A and B are shown apart, each in its own frame.
Chain A
Amino acid sequence: MLQLKNIQVGYGKKTLLQNIHANIAAGNFVGVLGINGIGKSTLLKTIAGLIHAQSGSVMLNEKAVQQISITDKSALISVAGTERAEILYMTVREFVAMGKMRFSNSFNILPIEHFNHVEQVMQALQLAHLASKYIGEISDGEKQKAVIARAVAQDTPLMILDEPTAFLDFRNKRIVFEYLASLAKTKQKIILASTHDLELSFEHCSNWWVIDESRNFAVCNDAQEVKEILKY
């Protein structure tokens, strides 16, 4: 259960969004919608605990996210979209495996079952044939899938993805949306993904957080409602 209790988010003295209330139960795939620069990324980073909320609190399973230790947090929340994936001579496999860092020993070696899960995730996102390539050599779209795979490999109850499909072609967008929706259902995860692919999100998300142009935040359970707010 993820709870946003009257949070206010922004950078420094600037406030982007306020009066945000939401309760999300396990198994939900939430599309976070709104125009560029409206505060989606800042909201997601705040929920991830990467920046402090200006007020209010983010609770995950009854615990304030800000008070969870870094190590414990890595087992609860995975974040895709804030890393740089431009690491010289790092293979796609090594990159995806970084999601499992909490299981690896000091020599960066993973227990076999976790290593296998990494392969499985790459398979599901159709990355397996790229596993041994350097991450600098693959296309932007493939890189984005690697970033998603990295977050999925972390295998956490809450996944936060910032525009996971921005660079993907229509086919891969569908693959990613379908995969995330099935993960939310079968593994009872909460997935938050900001996106501009409205149609796909209507098709696959279970509910939506919508931020309108005057920065009002709304939780919608119905695609029609979303369309009205966004004048889509």
Chain B
Amino acid sequence: MFSSRHILLFVVLAVLLCAAFVAQLFLGSVSVPAAEVFTILLGKGKDEILSRIILENRLPGAVGALIAGSALALSGLMMQILFRNPVAGPYVLGMSAGANLGVALLLMGSSFFSFSGILSKFFYSEWGIALAAAIGSSAVFLLVLLVAKRITQSVSLLIVGLMLGSAISAVVELLQTFAGKDELKQFVLWTFASFRHLTPQQVWVMAICCGFGFALSIKMMKPLQALQGGENFAQTVGIDTRRAKQTIIIATGILAGTVTAFCGPVAFIGLAVPHLCRMIFKTANTVTLTFACVLLGAVVCGFCNVAASMPGSEYALPVNVITSILGAPFVVYIIIKQPKTV
């Protein structure tokens, strides 16, 4: 199924994945001796503050960053093939902004609708936020897909995404201006979402939602293989492209939406990692690329999270700072190189 070179690469990625996980546990703004981390992880830690840092702060953050990286990379891969555009990705095409809007409407839209009883329990929980974010992301994807039909140049799509993103942000600003004090507080608290603030509860919800997204992506591996030859082509070899598109919209919405809901916007990982996978694996086989994106996305995101926590200093950066510093030049590189194809 895989060539020996690919198997070797997968093994290397798996090792790096473990390294990224361990590094996130052992390195952070607060320096905790490695031996202490070990005893805490074994459940024998004595220092309560350090235990809390490791178990309630770093562990969920570490797991969350790995899931987020995989999810974003996968949604980027699906988008690039569907749009046949090398500069497609969940962040640049406004899906993170869409997730933002979804959550903003949920938390600050009480003048339009409100939930009571059991519904309010669901909608104002992590599940509700994940659902709102996923719907917001999917809606933006659908919109971009409609516009993309009329776009021939790949970079134009980027501009459309940018405009859509700023229009959506403006709507969110509007909602914030007219929101009640409590609602606004709730929303502002939510916008602080980051790997460092992930709670175990949120990680569970994210894992389950993304798990569903992963399952859908696995189902899409075969349609995506054919879609690389274009939509007409995929149809002539027997792929129901309409259904495939619907599934891809839902899958990417869930993946990019839930990640944004709990970790905040994470720039460029979704765009860059699929390209890195193609460069490293040198294949167009969507099965290989799917698994490569899951692994490499997690690795890249994990290490970005470590870098963002700036081990050894007393400061910590939003992970977006790191992914943008690395990712933005990479996007420029891709545009200059303009691979004719994805």
Contact = CB atoms under 8 A, between A and B. Distances in A.
Contact of B278 (A48, A82, A88, A154): A88
Interface residues of B, number: 31
B219 interface: yes
A66 interface: no
A108 B233 contact: no
Interface string A58-88: 0000000000001101110111001111111
Contacts, number: 92
Contact of B287 (A50, A89, A95, A108): A108
B230 A108 contact: no
Given A70-B240, A71-B240, A101 B284 contact: no
B238 A101 contact: yes
Interface string B47-60: 00000000000000
B237 interface: yes
A141 B162 CA distance: 40
Interface in A91-126: 91, 94-95, 98-99, 101-102, 104-109
B221 interface: yes
B116 interface: no
B242 to A, nearest CB: 9
Contact of A101 (B219, B239, B282, B340): B239
B286 interface: yes
Nearest to B222: A106
B238 A88 contact: no
A90 interface: yes
Interface string B277-319: 0100111111100000000000000000000000000000000
A98 B1 contact: no
Contacts of B340: 86
Given A82-B233, A89-B284, A90-B228, A101 B222 contact: yes
Interface string B221-241: 110011011101101111111
B238 A75 contact: yes
A98 B240 contact: no
Contacts of B237: 74, 98-99, 101-102, 154
B230 A83 contact: yes
B329 interface: no
A136 B222 contact: no
Interface in A4-38: none
Contacts of A105: 222
Given A107-B221, A108-B286, A84 B341 contact: yes
A83 B232 contact: yes
Contacts of A71: 238, 240
A37 to B, nearest CB: 20
A78 B233 CA distance: 10
Nearest to A86: B341
B342 interface: yes
A79 B236 contact: yes
A106 B219 contact: yes
Contacts of A106: 218-219, 221-222
B327 to A, nearest CB: 20
Contact of A87 (B221, B228, B239, B281): B228
A78 B236 CA distance: 6
A28 to B, nearest CB: 21
Interface string A178-200: 00000000000000000000000
Given A86-B341, A104-B222, A109-B1, A48 B236 contact: yes
B179 to A, nearest CB: 45
B285 A74 contact: no
Given A84-B233, A90-B284, A104-B222, A136 B341 contact: yes
Nearest to B286: A108
Nearest to A160: B236
A73 B238 contact: yes
A87 B229 CA distance: 7
A77 B237 CA distance: 9
A108 B226 CA distance: 10
Contact of A88 (B1, B218, B240, B339): B339
B287 A107 contact: yes
Given A84-B230, A87-B341, A88-B284, A108 B225 contact: yes
A52 to B, nearest CB: 14
A107 B290 CA distance: 10
Contacts of A88: 278, 284, 339, 341-342
A190 to B, nearest CB: 16
28 contacts: A48-B236, A50-B232, A50-B235, A50-B236, A70-B238, A75-B238, A77-B236, A82-B236, A83-B232, A83-B236, A84-B229, A85-B229, A87-B284, A87-B341, A90-B283, A90-B284, A90-B285, A91-B284, A94-B285, A98-B225, A98-B229, A98-B237, A105-B222, A107-B1, A108-B222, A108-B225, A108-B285, A108-B287
Interface of B: 1, 218-219, 221-222, 225-226, 228-230, 232-233, 235-241, 278, 281-287, 339-342
